[in-house]
Amino acid sequence: MNIVFKQIIKKIKEYDTIVLARHIGPDPDALASEIALRDSIKLTFPKKKVYAVGNSVAKFKYFGSLDRIDDNNLNKPLLIILDVPNKSRIDGINYDNYDYVIRIDHHPNVEEISDLEYVCVTASSTCELITELMVETKLKMNESIANNLFLGIVADSDRFLLSYTTPKTFKLITMLIEKYNLNISNLYNNLYLRPINEVKFQAYITLNMTVTENNFGYIKLDKSIMDEFKVDASSASNMINNFNFIKELYAWAFSSYDEKNKIYKINIRSRGPIINDVAQNYNGGGHIFASGARIKEESDVDKLFKDLDIRTKDYKNKLFSTK
C-alpha cells in the first residue's frame, strides 16, 4: 500500500470529527471527490461526524447534498482539502480552526498548505486519487460513491481525451464499472444533457470569439449577454473544453461576470502554451493546460488576455522555429 495512504487512513481513524473542503466555484471533480470521500468515511466509520462543506451548485445537485456547519463550534477536527492547490481558494472553512490538515490533489504545487499531502500531478483527476485510495485501503464504497467517482474522472479527463489520462485511469474506471454495474449512459446524461438555450449560448461564443494572429481566442461575456441566453456565470466554464479541437486555437479564455460576487470568472485552456503561471499572476492557477482566475477589475481581465496572447505568441514562434 502507498505509504501516504497509510498515513491518511491513520489520521482518519484518529479523529472523531472530519471536515472535507474543496475549491471555490467547484467543478464536477471537486464536488464528486469531496462528497464521495465523505460518504465513504461515514460508511466505513458510522460513529464519526463527517461533513462536506462549501457553496452548492444547483446544476450539480446529482452528486448529493453538502453540509452546513459552523466550524467555530467543532472540537479540534481533521480537515481534508481536495482538488485545490492554494489556501485562498478553499471554500467554506475557517482554516485556523483545524487541528490537522490533509491535502489530496492533482494540481501542481503552489504553496504548502497542509500537514500531510498527497499530490500527484500525473493523475487525471482528484477523483482518480480518491478511487485509488479506496481501492488500496479499507475505505468502503457503494454504487452511489462509485457513480460520483466515475463522473469526476470522466469530467476532468474530458472523457479521457486529455493527456493526463493514463492506463491507471482506465484500470480504475474498469473496476468501478464492473464491480458496481454502473449505468454509463445515465451517468453521461448527468454531465452532458443541456437545454437548448445553453447550446445557443455556445454558438454565440463561437461566432463572437476574437482570435488573434497568435492563435489565442478570447471573449468577455457580460450580464446582458447571459441574461439574453438565460445562463449564469458558470455556464461558460462548463463549455470551455468544447473548444479543444479547433485548429486555429492554441489557447483560449472566457471571461464571465458574476453579478452576485462582483467578480470576473476566467476560464483558460491550452493545446500547447503553459498557462497556469500566467493565471497565478491574476488570483488564479491550476494545471499547465487548464487554469482559471477570479478578477475584480475589468482592466485586469484585459491585462490577463494580453499576457496570454504573448504566451501563445511565444509558443507559436518556438513551434514553427523547430519545424
How many domains does the chain fold into?
2
One domain for residues 178 and 303: no
Report percent pLDDT > 90 for the chain. Answer: 84
One domain for residues 39 and 119: yes
* Domain stops at, among 191, 207, 235: 191
Predicted confidence (pLDDT) at residue 163 exceeds the cutoff of 90: no
One domain for residues 27 and 164: yes
CB atoms within 10 A of CB 245: 9
- DSSP helix/strand/coil, 13: helix
Show the CA angle centred on residue 50, arms to residues 45 and 52, nearest 5°.
Answer: 140
One domain for residues 11 and 150: yes
One domain for residues 24 and 139: yes
- DSSP helix/strand/coil, 70: coil
One domain for residues 166 and 41: yes
One domain for residues 313 and 223: yes
- Provide the CATH number for the domain around residue 301: 3.10.310.30
Higher pLDDT residue, 89 or 256?
256
* Domain stops at, among 144, 173, 191: 191
Q: How confident is the model at residue 287 (pLDDT cuts 50, 70, 90)?
A: confident
One domain for residues 163 and 17: yes
Q: Which amino acid is at 241?
A: N
Over the chain, what is the mean pLDDT? 94
One domain for residues 138 and 29: yes
CB contact at 8 A, 190 and 238: no
Predicted confidence (pLDDT) at residue 189 exceeds the cutoff of 70: yes
At 323 the pLDDT is 60
- Provide the CATH number for the domain around residue 181: 3.90.1640.10
Q: Tell whether the torsion through CA atoms of 153, 156, 162 and 166 is positive or negative.
A: negative
pLDDT tens per residue across span 74-100: 999 999 999 998 888 899 999 999 999
One domain for residues 168 and 38: yes
One domain for residues 176 and 228: no
The whole domain housing 273 covers 196-321
One domain for residues 155 and 234: no
Q: Quick one: angle between helices 167-180 and 143-156, nearest 10?
A: 150
* Domain stops at, among 191, 214, 237: 191
